[in-house]
Amino acid sequence: MTMQNENLSGLDLRTEIDRLRKERNAIILAHYYQKPEIQDIADFVGDSLELSRKAAETDADVIAFCGVKFMAETAKILSPEKIVVLPDLDAGCSLEDSCPPDKFKAFREEHPDHIALTYINCSAAVKALSDIIVTSSSAEMILDQLPKDQKIIFAPDKHLGGYMARKTGRDMLLWPGVCIVHEKFSETELIKLKAEHPGAPVAAHPECPAHILDHADHVGSTSSILKFAKESDYDTVIIATEPHIIHQMEKAVPEKTFIGAPGADGNCNCNICPYMALNTMEKLYIALRDLEPRIELDEELRLQAKKSLDRMLEMSSGTVGKGDLGPTDLAHKG
């Protein structure tokens, strides 16, 4: 039965989801950009790297992934024996859309002396065509381990790539993708907001364009922004990332004030991720009840994609030393 012709209004969704989670031996993983009610019912809420690690480690039989499709695919790549459900299969990502596998493959072939460092926000097929996957919290650590003269393609986020290039002094070839959410912050409105809250720092995600990052006091992944918001001495912090993360901040330090950075009209909801917002409690309930929609991957593709993800997990665990990996170790084997 599809959701459209179901009436779930009589159900206590929290209780039902909890019951099904136990019956199915399921773990609910959620990204910080999910609606507050989903974050609150999840077993674990985290950034992309933490969620990948959880998916790889869990001994649950079912992973209900409350995030977007590339995240649920990552869970399936790392835990193929588990059933992975995504409440709404249409929960995509503009970065993934910007990088079709055939175009990425052709680009790689034009630059055979470059390795591909690819942001986790991409399809399993693009992961399979990449050498090392990175997240915003692992990119710098991974770049630090590559020889300085290594030629690198960074895809698909040109803003994260540009930020990393500026920070590490590396000249990388950037794929021209953007996150439609972080792209919408307005520099003019941010300057006005800062003037209204003198002294309040700006914490920004590196998916923001450079003209926004130029005004930031702290740049990092969602987990890193959350840590800064909780631990820094400021009473008021301006948050330049998807605003649902503010829920965790308000729970952790209710005495502080967190203000979402504005879009062009100064007060819009345009910075809510439309893909993440597709997941609802109703769809999570149905996913746990029906064990659908499921993520399924071709085994050959999965194994190829796993190589680049495993490199990320290994290189972000601190066990590989600086400069340890050279071009020969990383050359893409097709």
Q: Where along the sequence are the contacts to ligand 13P (CB under 6 A)?
A: 47-48, 121, 135-137, 179, 205, 207, 221-222
Cα 279 to Cα 89: distance, rounded to the nearest angstrom: 9
Q: Which is nearer to ligand 13P, 48 or 98 (CB)?
A: 48
Asked if 181 interacts with ligand SF4 (CB under 6 A), we say yes
Residue 273 within binding range of ligand SF4, rule CB under 6 A: yes
> Given the complex with ligand 13P, which of 129 and 134 has the nearer CB atom?
134
- Partner interacting with residue 48 (select from ligand 13P, ligand SF4, none; CB below 5-8 Å by kind): ligand 13P
Comparison of 114 and 177: residue with beta carbon closer to ligand 13P: 177
Nearer to ligand 13P, 143 or 286 (CB): 143
Residue 102's CB is within 10 A of a number of other CB atoms, namely 9
**Residue 58's binding partner out of ligand SF4, ligand 13P, none, with CB under 5 to 8 Å set by partner kind:** none
The rounded distance, in Å, linking the Cα atoms of 320 and 84 is 30
Select the binding partner of residue 330 from ligand 13P, ligand SF4, none (C-beta < 5 to 8 A, by kind). none
**Under 8 Å CB-to-CB from 199, ≥6 apart: which residues?**
234, 236
Supply the DSSP symbol for 294.
Answer: B
The yes or no reply on residue 165 touching ligand SF4 (CB under 6 A) is no
- Return the number of other C-beta atoms located less than 10 Å from residue 97's C-beta: 14
With contacts defined by CB under 6 A, name the span among 92-100, 143-151, 223-231, 255-263 that binds ligand SF4: 92-100
What, of ligand SF4, ligand 13P, none, does residue 221 touch, CB below 5 to 8 Å by kind?
ligand 13P
Q: Least distance (Å) from ligand SF4 to the CB of residue 63?
A: 18
- CB under 8 Å to 23, separation ≥6 — which residues? none
- Comparing CB distances to ligand SF4, the nearer of 33 and 185 is 33
Q: Which tokens belong to 301? A: 């593709």
DSSP assignments along 168-204, one per residue: HT---EEP-B--TTGGGB-HHHHHHHHHHSTT--EEE
- 179 in contact with ligand SF4 (CB under 6 A): yes
Which residues 6+ apart lie within 8 Å of 169 measured at CB?
none
Task: Provide the pairing of β-strand 83-85 with 62-66.
Answer: parallel
DSSP 241: S
Q: Binding of ligand SF4 at residue 68 (CB under 6 A)?
A: yes
Q: Does 93 bind ligand SF4 (CB under 6 A)?
A: yes
Nearest approach in angstroms of CB 88 to ligand SF4 is 13
x/- binding map, residues 21-60, to ligand SF4, per CB under 6 A? ------------x---------------------------
Shortest distance, CB of residue 320 to ligand SF4, whole angstroms? 27
Residue among 138, 143, 144 nearest 153 (CA): 143
Please spell the DSSP secondary structure of 13-54, one letter per residue: HHHHHHHHHHHTTEEEEEETTS-HHHHHH-SEEE-HHHHHHH
Q: Which is nearer to ligand 13P, 47 or 88 (by Cβ)?
A: 47
Q: Under the rule (CB under 6 A), what is the footprint of ligand SF4?
A: 33, 68, 93-95, 121, 179-181, 207, 242, 273, 275-276
